[in-house]
Amino acid sequence: MYTLSTFIKDLDSVTRRCSDAGKIVAEAGPLLAELIKNPDCIPEQFKQHGGKAYGRYMLHRAPLFNVTSVVWGPGDGAKAHNHQTWGIIGVLENELKETRFVRRDDGKKEGYAELAVTAVNRNQAGMVSTLLAPDDDIHEMLNVTRKNTVEVHVYGKDLAHLQRLQFDVANKSVKFFASPKYDNC
């Protein structure tokens, strides 16, 4: 069975060998797909809801990538946002609605952003989605089910405290935000 430690070693090899984000995502996506076939790939304590909000746990921090688990409770979600880096996201348990967007405006008008929906996906257990900044890294997440959804996220940067953009699609506005610290560190 493919384990988290083997995945991390393989991902380390990919990120040391490749600097192109597209190539990293192309090689790392199948590795994450293999990892999430193993329901026990992450310890139970990192599959728990965060209490007040969704749970975010650092599983591995490295210079070229981070691996985290995110636990979305029923109704939990994240408004449309970007990532400023490449990413791969795999659903380990349950499912999650992901809405993908493209930015239509040129970004020059402060506080203004016009997004268009490019896809609406029901990402189920075993599925992997990818993000490639700057043109394909805006999405919105929502757990529309009645139980927790557990995902494994891999990013080329640590998102905690990284200045990113959060979008209000209906009002065509944008503001800076940063993800909070992880629940376990």
Q: Which CATH superfamily is domain 4-177 in?
A: Jelly Rolls (2.60.120.10)
Residue 50 pLDDT more than 90? no
- Six token digits for residue 133: 């900044």
Kindly give the pairing relationship between strand 149-155 and strand 115-124.
unpaired
Residue 15 pLDDT more than 90? yes
CB 139 within 8 A of CB 98: yes
The stretch 23-33 carries a mean pLDDT of 98
pLDDT score recorded for residue 185: 85
Q: Where are the domains of the chain?
A: 4-177
Q: What is the tens place of the pLDDT at every residue in 107-118?
A: 999 999 999 999
Residue 51 pLDDT more than 80? no
Residue 36 pLDDT more than 80? yes
- Distances in Å between the Cα of 125 and the Cα atoms of 2, 28, 57 are 16, 17, 19
